[in-house]
Amino acid sequence: MSAKVLIVIGDAAEAMDTLYPFFRLKEAGYEVVVAGPEARLYHLVMHEIPPGWDITREGPSYHLAAEIAFRDVKAEEFVGLFITGGRAPEYLRYDQHLLALTRHFFAENKPVASVCHGVEIIAAADVIRGRRVATVAKCALDVTFSGGQFVNEGCVRDGNLVSGRTWHDNHLFMREFMFMLAAAENQ
């Protein structure tokens, strides 16, 4: 039986933030379990900054089903946690079941990856105090308000947490996340 990795999504999760790790983890033989506020189909979005714009433009994208609700996840069954970006974390960070799951992964020192706005969830879970964390620059305040240190790099690892700024960094931080998962399985 393959090891399980949990991916957190909701409506307006960023498609590239989500689908790259979804397929990369499957490719490596992990059982990927997608969780959301409810077990249902979620609407992903795509984000890009058009030439001449100062802010991200959002458009509709693919759909992805969550097979389990946060409240029903048994965290001890998973070797790792992936927290995607997009606008979904803006409201997911209020879900107490998700915050409890997130705290479990940090308390047990299991590998966690966060990209872009995913930082809003780990900040709300109060697990980044004293840690170096990468995220999109417009979320730097979430890091510093939560006691972390914002780092503007494509891959930042601090203990069991690896983080990246946006989907443009997937190839950087996902490589490290894969190493972390493999190391955790071999302990």
Q: What pLDDT sits at residue 48?
A: 87
Question: β-pairing, 132-133 with 68-69?
Answer: unpaired
pLDDT in tens, 161-183: 999 999 999 999 999 999 999 99
In this prediction, residues 74-97 reach a mean pLDDT of 98
CB 49 within 8 A of CB 57: yes
Pick the closest to residue 69 from 95, 30, 43, 32 (CA basis). 95
Q: Is 117 a catalytic residue?
A: yes
Q: What pLDDT sits at residue 167?
A: 95
Q: What pLDDT sits at residue 70?
A: 98
Domain ranges of the chain: 4-185
Q: What pLDDT sits at residue 1?
A: 63
Is the model's pLDDT at 116 over the cut of 80?
yes
In this prediction, residues 69-87 reach a mean pLDDT of 98
Choose the catalytic residue: 47, 63, 97, 117: 117
Report the alpha-carbon distance of residue 79 to residue 100 in Å, rounded.
16
Pick the closest to residue 173 from 162, 182, 183 (CA basis). 162
Q: What is the average pLDDT score of the chain?
A: 96
pLDDT in tens, 144-166: 999 999 999 999 999 999 999 99
pLDDT in tens, 28-67: 999 999 999 999 999 999 988 889 998 888 888 999 999 9
CB 138 within 8 A of CB 165: no
74, amino acid identity: K
Residue range 4-185 in CATH 3.40.50.300: no
pTM confidence score: 0.96
Q: What pLDDT sits at residue 128?
A: 98
pLDDT in tens, 2-28: 899 999 999 999 999 999 999 999 999
Residue with tokens 């029903």: 72
Q: What pLDDT sits at residue 30?
A: 98
In this prediction, residues 127-139 reach a mean pLDDT of 97
